[in-house]
Amino acid sequence: MAKKKPPQEGTRHSGNPNVMGLRPEVLEQPITQTLEINYMPYAMSVIVSRAIPEIDGFKPSHRKLLYTMYTMKLLGGSRTKSANIVGQTMKLNPHGDAAIYDTMVRLSRGYGALLHPLVDSKGNFGKVYSRDMAWAAPRYTEARLDAITGEFFRDIDQDAVDFVDNYDGSLKEPALLPTTFPNVLVSANQGIAVGMASNLCGFNLGEVCDGAAAYLKNPDVDLLEYLKAPDFPTGGALLYDEGSLRQIYATGRGSFQVRAKWRHVPKENLIEIYEIPYTTTVEAVMDKVSELIKSGKIREISDMRDETDLNGLKLAVDLKRGTDAEKLMAKLFKATPLQDSFACNFNILIAGMPRVMGVKEILKEWTAWRMDGVRRRTYFAMHKKQEKLHLLKGLKRILLDIDRAIAIIRDTEEDAEVVPNLMIGFGIDDVQAEYVADIRLRNINKEYILKRIEEVAGLEEEIADLQDIVNHPERVKSIITQELQAVKKKYAVPRRTEIVYELPAAAADPAEEIPDYPVRVFCSREGYFKKITPQSLRMSSEQKYKEGDGAWLEWEASNRDELLVFTDRQQCYKARLSDFDDSKASLLGDFLPTKLGMEPGESFRWACITSDYSGHLLFFFENGKAARVELSAYQTQTRRKRLTGAYSDKSPLAAAWLLNEDREMAVYSTEERVVVFHTAALSPKTTRSTQGVNVMTLKPKWKVAAALPLEQTPIQNPGRYRARSLPAAGMLLKEEDRTERQLELKL
């Protein structure tokens, strides 16, 4: 058998690329081309066809589900299994059943995510305020359309909106649903696309209808007079801030605060929380409260439990004797999701383009779209009446001689000639002749024909009226206003979210409740931390340390001061001294990496204490650079426990000092050279990770070993080591400036 010749070099092998030692061909593609061909179509698909709602207030998944349920005659009909609805929706929505069912759950009455649920559900659909309460499988639940969806489908068969092909071209579906009220402002909606997101809060239906009607009458109306504030299905209390709301109404961006509703039950010495913010869940609240109790920051609570049942949400908080309920709730509002902010981002697709709009601009777009829908609906009705009028005018012609019409039909030999002969005999067109020819024998009497002809005058008046509506925008606006009033009368419900106009007095700073007393603080080289009161220190001043460890940092401070701990991974951990228990000299103290929750392998490097974040930090690096950073750069508005990028990572840290006033510093190198300079030569920076400036010139094999304030060094003649300009190489240490202490100059 003859051997196959190996393919020649440079030829392509169509089989396995690894056969006969061939390498697979690698095609290079510029990253810009990859983004354009692969990523951009995906991004546009997510933005336009998935995540961002349109002017009718729906995402495509919502619209496909609701329209499918409408075609299944579930508006006003009996409920059917959710699994049946999900299966039918797949004809329009090419996604898995779980995604479609999740969409239906969010729209359901049982789940409670909307002020006006669109799906009338039966069975377990979970709860929006619960993270862990799972809804039942679709084979167990039933659903139908809620009555309010009739306002979405009233004009669906009257050419009010465009219809498009579904994904395989086998069916038609509406591009938008012709909503008779601004559903985009009533139904809360959230979506995350590629490079953008959308977060719309809900407003009360009655207020939205009033606001839209007022806008139609006067586009310069102050909407805040009608739309008081957002409204949420979970209730709660909205802290009214006119400035924030006006910003949201004008720009579509901004945030506002919502807090839980609660009541104190003195007889049982407990607090009942019965409404929580829309943005949180029962489990998130309980987890945070539990964390605060374990850390000792909340000591007034003896127990907390979830007593939610069929009557609604309820969290019971048992209080310890003597607890002030008002003060406790003020703490909980500040430290837990019981008070949370809702960040608005009114990003909506308009003609396929995403736009962030304020409430007034949304109403402007909705009214323009709705006016076009009403005109199309009116034109459709007018066209139908014109067709009917045209037929009746043909019928009127045969009234002159019914017998002749009968004779023409009877004397015509071929069926195909009936219509042409009627057209010739009475001077009517083919449509009219077809209508006359199809009249039943029993209806060929004067009474029937005269009644039909009497409709002509009425039709002409109706057509003229419809044409007037199409031609006059003010009449269209009047129709929309009437529809808005009808919707309000039929479906509006009272507000669920209470508006708190008088903001409660700001809760006392927790720092004011922390006992203020002097303490002495010690930190060892390995990171063991002790906070000791002066009384305890007088009883025993001999400090205990682990073998090989020893004293390093020591401060006199207040129990309210803050501790900043720096690690070898350029991170700063923050804590209050009050977070540490009072210790004794005879104890090792708290191990900072464990107490502060440092990452595995992360080591303690240095620490300082401050009360007001005044002053500067000096960082000295092994490469000879020094950075002066304002201590205020480490102050945060929130109680953040960890800051990344606390100092530069370009070179290992050799020493650090808290600088409250300028002074002279002595920098030591491993070559036993010293540079003395004044800290005023270093400019303060607000960037924590600044690399600093060179203060000491080093040869390749040497590095900075330590840095100390000049007064803490044994240097006898500082003038020898003072630098005229920075950086400086420094001078070798003289014998009289050396001590055994130099051997311990390590960080």
Residues identified as active-site: 140
Q: Which residues contact 75 (CB under 8 A, 6 or more apart)?
A: 69, 144, 145, 149, 150, 153
Residues 56, 658: Cα–Cα separation, whole Å: 60
**Beta strand segments in 513-571, E:** 518-524, 528-532, 551-558, 562-567
Residues 174, 611: Cα–Cα separation, whole Å: 64
DSSP 8-state assignment for residue 327: H
Q: Which residues contact 477 (CB under 8 A, 6 or more apart)?
A: 216, 217, 367, 371
> CA separation (Å) from 584 to 561, 564, 587?
19, 22, 6
> What is the bridge-based pairing of β-strands 237-239 and 498-500?
parallel
| CB neighbour class for 674 (10 Å; exposed up to 12, middle 13-18, buried from 19) | buried
Helix (H, G, I), strand (E, B) or coil at 645: coil
Residues 538, 519: Cα–Cα separation, whole Å: 12
H or E segment and range at residue 155:
none
| CB neighbour class for 599 (10 Å; exposed up to 12, middle 13-18, buried from 19) | exposed
> CA separation (Å) from 703 to 281, 620, 682?
54, 11, 20
| CB neighbour class for 559 (10 Å; exposed up to 12, middle 13-18, buried from 19) | middle
Helix (H, G, I), strand (E, B) or coil at 324: coil
**Beta strand segments in 582-703, E:** 590-591, 604-610, 616-621, 625-630, 642-643, 653-659, 664-669, 673-678, 693-694
Residues 51, 349: Cα–Cα separation, whole Å: 10
Residues 635, 614: Cα–Cα separation, whole Å: 10
Residues 473, 367: Cα–Cα separation, whole Å: 11
Amino acid letter for position 588: L
Instruction: List residues bridging with 553 in a β-sheet.
Output: 523
If one counts every other C-beta atom within 10 angstroms of the C-beta of residue 397, the result is 17
Token pair for 359 = 């409430």
Of the candidates 130, 152, 160, 129, the residue with the CA atom closest to the CA atom of residue 65:
152
Of the candidates 633, 627, 631, the residue with the CA atom closest to the CA atom of residue 613:
631
Q: Report CA Rg, the chain.
A: 40
Helix (H, G, I), strand (E, B) or coil at 49: helix
> CA separation (Å) from 511 to 333, 410, 515, 576?
16, 105, 8, 9
Q: Which residues contact 565 (CB under 8 A, 6 or more apart)?
A: 572, 573, 574, 575, 592, 596, 604, 606, 607
Does a cis peptide bond (omega within 30 degrees of 0) precede residue 718?
no
The contacts found for 124-130 with CB under 8 angstroms, 24 or more apart, are 127/308, 127/313, 128/233, 128/234, 128/278, 129/234, 129/276, 129/280, 129/281, 129/282, 129/313, 130/281, 130/282, 130/283, 130/308
Are the C-beta atoms of residues 576 and 561 closer than 8 Å to each other? yes
Cα 8 from chain centroid? 60
Of the candidates 93, 189, 101, 95, the residue with the CA atom closest to the CA atom of residue 143:
101
H or E segment and range at residue 261:
strand 261-265
